[in-house]
Copies of this chain bind each other. A is one copy, B any other.
Amino acid sequence: MTDGEHSPGPVPRKNGNGANVLNARRIGIDTQYEAVVFMRRDCPVCKSEGFTSQNRVRLTHGSQTVIATLFQTAPGFLDHGEVGLSEAAWRRLGMNNGGTVIVSHPRPLDSLSLLRGKVYGNPLEAHSVKVIIEDIVAGRYSDIHLSSFVTACSAQPLDHAEMVALTAAMTDAGDRLEWGTYPVVDKHCVGGLPGNRTTPIIVAVAAACGLTMPKTSSRAITSPAGTADTMETLAPVDLDITTMRQVVEREGGCIAWGGAVRLSPADDTLIRVERALDLDGEGQLVASVLSKKIAAGSSHVILDLPVGPTAKVRSQEAARVLSRNLIAVAHAFDIEARTIITDGRQPVGRGIGPALEARDVLAVLQGTADAPPDLRDRAVALAGHLLELGGAAAAGNGTGLAARTLDEGGAWRKFQAICEAQGGMRVPPRAGHFRPVLANRAGKVTAIDNRRLAKVAKLAGAPVAKAAGVEIHVQLGMTVTSGEPLYTVHAEAPGELAYSFDYVAANSDIIEMTEV
């Protein structure tokens, strides 16, 4: 830019404190979570403050402040004295009917030196974690900083004290629910097993048996569907605290998206980065799981740890370590936790992807003839443990009570009532495009690669495309004939179907078979 390129516009206003005040314009650019501010390249504020593109700048409107990424524009793009705001910046500043923003330098990020210490192998002090998480929740970390934190916590695994500190910091950074009752039960599956969607069934059983189970779930981290993604195809899950409380008071249970109630808000930010890296370190896993449970006011928690060569937890030994960490950190917060190590060698149920998994859940709850027995068995076993842990069944009687509650329709009626209370039951969508993957010869199924099958579902559009995913037609030990469908890929768009099939074509051994 040369000085002669433009005639300088009117100098933006300064307020009484000498701050730069500019008119905000909503320009309809969606940058998702990221606050972006657009400023004219020739804006006098850029010149006087030394701002250039990709700088992080501080925007203030009333009592709201965000740190935004700056993109500079050609002069014609905005009027003089004006900034453009992305949808996220507009929303987080609470602009509503527009107005002005103050643009300034952000304060230096002092917590970066604490993060660097962790990178170099120094343990994170409780205070350090607290400051880092506060900066993350306030949106002061760029993607570069977030990724460094996530990577450092995987490269230099967190010890017990660090896990407790991270769990506490993540809990304290958000809201905290209290239910005025005891016990408050909860359940979590440490992911990695496609289709393992027991939660909606367990909540229905527990609530039908009189327990209080206000379930908050996450969206997918590295999987094609989280419980919140699946449940959203059956009922609204974006519940605020008031609505959640009403649902739980009326029905004893709910299945809500945790993020909508600001429980452990750092978690969703970290999850986005973990997803991009496909990294999910043990310490962050423990803190992610337990901070949500603590914030949700749980007192008794069942943790399902599926183990298999292609599940998130690969060995019995790894499961034992994770189990010890989860129980020890839960104990530090006065939560009684029981871990159940389950079979994670193959997907559960038939569907992988939000709507396809929801159909399996409905079949089990309704007790239809085609209900996947493996999903039902797992749900009954876990619900049985939970009924015992929560005091609704004597030791040894949990499984029987859970099965009866399903068989006699109590769980299905309770589930429908919960969906109605959450805003109305929905019918899961069906994909407009699907295509089967056929066995190229006869054989017996000896292994199923959960990770690559999940990848097929993700490439087909899950979890963003709710109807997308994979429907599996075989299980370990099953004999198939040549030309028989092994699984069917569902997609909402032909481009995504084609995209996933490029991957399928290059991975013909996702389902391994021996000759019979």
Instruction: Give chain A interface residues in 75-119, CB to chain B under 8 Å.
Output: 76-77, 86, 105, 108, 112-113, 115-116, 119
Interface string of A144-156 (1 = CB under 8 A from B): 1111101110111
Q: Is A279 an interface residue (CB 8 A)?
A: yes
Question: In the complex, what's the smallest C-beta–C-beta distance from A404 to chain B, in angstroms?
Answer: 43
Which of B77, B144, B155, B273 is the one whose CB lies under 8 Å from A156? B155
| Identical copies in the complex | 2
Chain B residues, Cβ within 8 Å of A279: 116, 119, 148
Question: In the complex, what's the smallest C-beta–C-beta distance from A37 to chain B, in angstroms?
Answer: 12
Chain B residues, Cβ within 8 Å of A2: none
Question: Which residue in chain B gives the minimum CB-CB distance to A147?
Answer: B147
Chain B residues, Cβ within 8 Å of A112: 277-278
Contact A492 B28 (CB under 8 A): no
Question: Which residue in chain B gives the minimum CB-CB distance to A460?
Answer: B50
Complex Cα gap A277–B148 (Å): 8
Question: In the complex, what's the smallest C-beta–C-beta distance from A159 to chain B, in angstroms?
Answer: 15
Q: Is A342 an interface residue (CB 8 A)?
A: no
Contact A77 B27 (CB under 8 A): yes
Question: In the complex, what's the smallest C-beta–C-beta distance from A183 to chain B, in angstroms?
Answer: 38
Which of B54, B113, B144, B492 is the one whose CB lies under 8 Å from A32? B54
Q: Is A49 an interface residue (CB 8 A)?
A: yes
- Which among A105, A119, A156 has the highest number of chain B CB atoms within 10 Å? A119
Complex Cα gap A150–B156 (Å): 14
Q: Is A408 an interface residue (CB 8 A)?
A: no
Q: Is A505 an interface residue (CB 8 A)?
A: no
Question: In the complex, what's the smallest C-beta–C-beta distance from A72 to chain B, in angstroms?
Answer: 5
Q: Is A41 an interface residue (CB 8 A)?
A: yes
Contact A499 B105 (CB under 8 A): yes
Q: Is A276 an interface residue (CB 8 A)?
A: yes
Which of B30, B48, B105, B108 is the one whose CB lies under 8 Å from A71? B30
Instruction: Give chain A interface residues in 195-225, CB to chain B under 8 Å.
Output: none
- Which among A38, A53, A74, A116 has the highest number of chain B CB atoms within 10 Å? A53
Contact A276 B30 (CB under 8 A): no
Contact B276 A142 (CB under 8 A): yes
Q: Is A400 an interface residue (CB 8 A)?
A: no
With A112-B277, A142-B143: A495-B48 Cβ-Cβ less than 8 Å: yes
Contact B145 A276 (CB under 8 A): yes
Which of B50, B53, B155 is the one whose CB lies under 8 Å from A461? B50
Complex Cα gap A279–B114 (Å): 12
Complex Cα gap A140–B165 (Å): 35
Interface string of A248-280 (1 = CB under 8 A from B): 000000000000000000000000010011110
Complex Cα gap A32–B52 (Å): 9
Chain B residues, Cβ within 8 Å of A71: 29-31, 36, 86
Chain B residues, Cβ within 8 Å of A151: 119, 147-148, 151-152, 155
Question: In the complex, what's the smallest C-beta–C-beta distance from A227 to chain B, in angstroms?
Answer: 21
With A144-B143, A278-B112: A154-B499 Cβ-Cβ less than 8 Å: no
Q: Is A496 an interface residue (CB 8 A)?
A: yes
Q: Is A493 an interface residue (CB 8 A)?
A: yes
Chain B residues, Cβ within 8 Å of A47: 493
Chain B residues, Cβ within 8 Å of A155: 119-121, 151-152, 155-156
Q: Which residues of A contact B (CB under 8 A)?
A: 27-34, 36, 38, 41, 47-50, 52-54, 71-74, 76-77, 86, 105, 108, 112-113, 115-116, 119-121, 142-148, 150-152, 154-156, 273, 276-279, 459, 461, 464-465, 491-496, 499, 503
19 other A-B residue contacts (CB within 8 Å) besides A30-B53, A120-B154: A28-B73, A30-B41, A32-B54, A49-B495, A49-B496, A49-B499, A50-B493, A52-B464, A108-B459, A116-B277, A119-B151, A119-B155, A119-B279, A142-B276, A145-B276, A145-B277, A147-B147, A147-B151, A151-B151
